[in-house]
Structure 1
Amino acid sequence: MTNAGSDLSTRGREITVVGIDGAGKSTLAARLCEALNDAGHKTILVGKTTTDVPMDPELSAYVDSLNAVVYRRDARVAQACGDRYWLLALAAWYTLQDKLVIQPALEAGTHVILDNAHHKILARYAVNPDVPTELAEQVFTHLTTPDLVFFLRISAKEALARKQGEFSSLETGHSGGASDDFIRYQDTVLTKLSEHEQRDGWLSMDVTDMDRDAVFKTAADALTEHLQLSV
């Protein structure tokens, strides 16, 4: 999963965490970033609120303005714009973050822990009959290929329990407000993510019966084994 032509002796590594809502992605991503830095590996955590472009306040302000359009929007406006618009808006957001934040960090030898990667977007659009799957895949193909992808596997029912029954309309695919709607939609997304796992060689972790410490230890051991990054 390493980018071809990169100098592995100096290049940073991109480690991505994927899974359905409630799988524990953000918790693991933050802990891995902290542990890598504590171990002397310069690392940044990149998520959907990351808008800082180092040493460039003008670009930072522009990235933040795009983030506001994509993630800080009014729900009524979101519905009015439609799914195709939001696919392209999300593609623009991921493109800018990749070009202005992720790629420069990797080239400078800084490792990147990526939370909220585009794979879940692809999975959601794969179950959307109004948008061609080929279009959704095409608009993200240029993004940096991760060196390692952790796929946190968990059933939608267990994920809902971890979220204590609280979820947004987006987490049901705007299909309804009942727990069954969340479970049905997230199980469908999980199936689509599993297809990416098999095709792209992700590292699958069944986290159903694992506490946070066990998840972290498993991931940390994998960093040592696959990327020679000890934490």
Structure 2
Amino acid sequence: MRLDLLIQAKNNNPCFVAVEGIDGSGKTSLAESLVSALISADYNAKLICRTTPSKFPSATERLREIGDFLWNYPSNLDIEELGDRHLISLMASWFYLFENCVIRPELASGKIVVVEPWINKYLARFLVKKQSWVLNLFADLPVPDITILLDVEPEIAGMRKSAYRNTETNSRGSTSLVQFVDFQHEVRLKLLNLSSDKWLVIDAKHELKKNVDAILQQLTNCLEYQTLAKEP
């Protein structure tokens, strides 16, 4: 795990951090709390989410328009009826624009950029559906310096949610906790298979503060190691 990159970011060297996990794992809350904790520790950090505007107004508008097709569709729309290739192609277009016009300018200014969402949850979903060609479609996107995977049992994640979208259950029509759990078990395995030495896997069944503390503790360990390494 390259958490030493966070140390560099304290000196205005950029660091791209992505938060991943199955649906209901707590990604948004963790990302918000982590950025707050980093700022309190004097890091130049910023949270980037789906609605973060670009410095280019035209890019902001286009992200909103494509995003509405992907995530803000009417509840009565059968999204699966549209086909995976259509949805994946739209998603690739959105993420390439998001990276180029929202994430990249913030990294260029020397920030720790914490991003939620990033692509791996969606890759995992499509890999479960045996659409392995998606890996090539997203291959030119930059790999985050650090990926934080909130790993949680789908049964726990499902109980945190009050409703389930068809894309979270891989089903059409009505959805249920059982469908959610079954599909998210497969998504979780794919996410773990996608992980690398740049990933920090956190047991997300704990309380939010404990998850944030676990990440910051590893950062502290890196700072202590750096100090010792400089001593004669």
Name stretches of at least 5 consecutive residues in structure 1 with no aligned partner: none
1:119 shift after superposition: 0.2
Describe the SS at the equivalent of 1:14. Answer: strand
Moved more, 62-71 or 210-219: 62-71
Q: Distance in 1 between matches of 2:119 and 2:13?
A: 22
Describe the SS at the equivalent of 2:77. Answer: helix
Deviations 1:156-191 (A, max 9, x none): 11111222x532222101255121111100000001
Deviations 1:21-80 (A, max 9, x none): 111111110111122223332222122223x112x3233222222222222223526344
Aligned ranges for residues 54-65 of structure 1 at < 5 Å? 54=55, 56-65=56-65
1:226 shift after superposition: 5.3
Indicate yes or no: 2:79 matched with 1:78.
yes
Structure 1 moving runs of 4+ over 6 Å: none
Identity rate of aligned residues, in percent?
A: 26
Indicate yes or no: 2:172 matched with 1:204.
no
Q: Distance in 2 between matches of 1:226 and 1:39?
A: 14
Amino acid at match of 2:178: D
Aligned ranges for residues 115-130 of structure 1 at < 5 Å? 115-129=116-130
Structure-2 change in CA distance of 1:227 and 1:49 (3 Å): farther
Tell me the equivalent position of 2:169: 172
8 Å CA contact 2:18–2:114 kept in 1: the answer is: yes
With normalisation by structure 2, the TM-score equals 0.84
8 Å CA contact 1:18–1:150 kept in 2: the answer is: yes
Describe the SS at the equivalent of 2:63. Answer: helix
Describe the SS at the equivalent of 1:204. Answer: strand
Describe the SS at the equivalent of 2:139. Answer: coil
Match of 1:162 among 160, 163, 168: 160
8 Å CA contact 2:16–2:107 kept in 1: the answer is: yes
Name stretches of at least 5 consecutive residues in structure 2 with no aligned partner: 3-7, 225-232
Aligned ranges for residues 118-157 of structure 1 at < 5 Å? 118-129=119-130, 131=131, 133=132, 135-157=133-155
8 Å CA contact 1:70–1:93 kept in 2: the answer is: no
Q: Distance in 1 between matches of 2:135 and 2:149?
A: 19
CA RMSD of aligned residues (A): 2.3
